[in-house]
Amino acid sequence: MTTETLDIKITKTTHSRLAETDFSNLVFGHTFADHMFVADYADGEWKNFQIVPYGEIGLSPAISSLHYGQAFFEGLKAYKHEDGTVSVFRPDKNAARFNKSAQRLCAPELPVDIFIQSIAALVDVDRDWIPTADNHSLYIRPFMFATDPYLGVVPSKTYKFIVLTCPVGPYFSKTLRVKVETEYTRAAEGGFGFAKAAGNYAGAMLPTRHAAEQGFDQMIWTDAKEHLYAEELGAANVMFVIDGKLITPSTRDTVLDGVTRDTVLAIARDWGMPVEERRVAISDIVEAAQNGTLTDAFGAGTAATIAPIGSISYQDQEYTLSDNREFSTKLFKHLNDIRYGRATDTHGWNYVV
């Protein structure tokens, strides 16, 4: 780990909750490690770099992020290898997307080295919180929000950057039953669907609840204009294997440029598999499901990892996929082998702490 260029004040907890934590029963996002990283932006610079015990923070009820939504986040994971090595998966890619979100929400960019060093330092302090079981990891949540106590619709001049970590198991524990959403909209052209903005997820909660009440695990969001093209799942990018090709919606201002998405595409190309990044019509998916050329479908995301889709419902018709998901099964194993240090990391994706 390198933190020479970042002066971080570390205050460790006097009472670790580690021994009280049941690592065999981790509900995703409910258990937090002992510490968090905190930094402030004011007077045009980032300052006050600290690692402190996890806990509540005092804020004015007038801060602009609570009223006008200047808040965004990232999600990445740290893994423990069999030899005890700890690595964070592709933090540079998350840093770049974090700053893309910052630009769109009129927030200050965070230098990549600060993003990576803050995460590495926090993971190092709480490395004992990283689960050792397969399909388990330490989920890392960096986020930024505006802190000006001012009720005016202008960008804040002050911000807070915080990093939390959670030991987690699998996000999904079963094959997904999904529906194509044709009423509600997640993101519109010209908006900020490509950013990890908090508001994107708030707007998705009601239709997600409706889908769950109908027995679905996730939705395939469609374009806002015509509802004719697949965009992404609620918790991940979406991918299809049709006629031997890996096909996924191309990134645009309504589709998140997922780190796992990029990783999957790189692996597929390494394996010589044809890859298509394009607008994917729902009609193409339905036709492929009907004629049997849709052989695999899955979500790809940091939290979800590789989440297989078992059925797709569209206009009250449900299309069931074969249980023989050769590509996503092989992909899931290979990706895990890289992250846990069991396979050669030819792309240099693992950042060793």
Per-10-residue mean pLDDT, the chain, length 353? 73 96 94 98 97 97 97 98 97 98 98 97 98 95 98 97 97 95 95 95 96 97 97 95 97 96 98 98 97 97 95 96 93 97 97 97
Note the pLDDT of residue 16. Answer: 97
Q: Contact at 8 Å (CB) between 46 and 158?
A: no
Note the pLDDT of residue 234. Answer: 87
- pTM for this prediction: 0.96
Note the pLDDT of residue 173. Answer: 87
Q: How far is CA 100 from CA 63, 96, 103, 116, 250, in A?
A: 23, 6, 5, 16, 17
Note the pLDDT of residue 4. Answer: 53
What tens digit of pLDDT does each residue of 15-45 get?
Answer: 999 999 999 999 999 999 999 999 999 999 9
Rounded to 10°, the helix 112-125/91-104 angle is 130
Domains of the chain (ranges; CATH) run: 9-169 (3.30.470.10), 176-339 (3.20.10.10)
What tens digit of pLDDT does each residue of 48-82 get?
Answer: 999 999 999 999 999 999 999 999 999 999 999 99
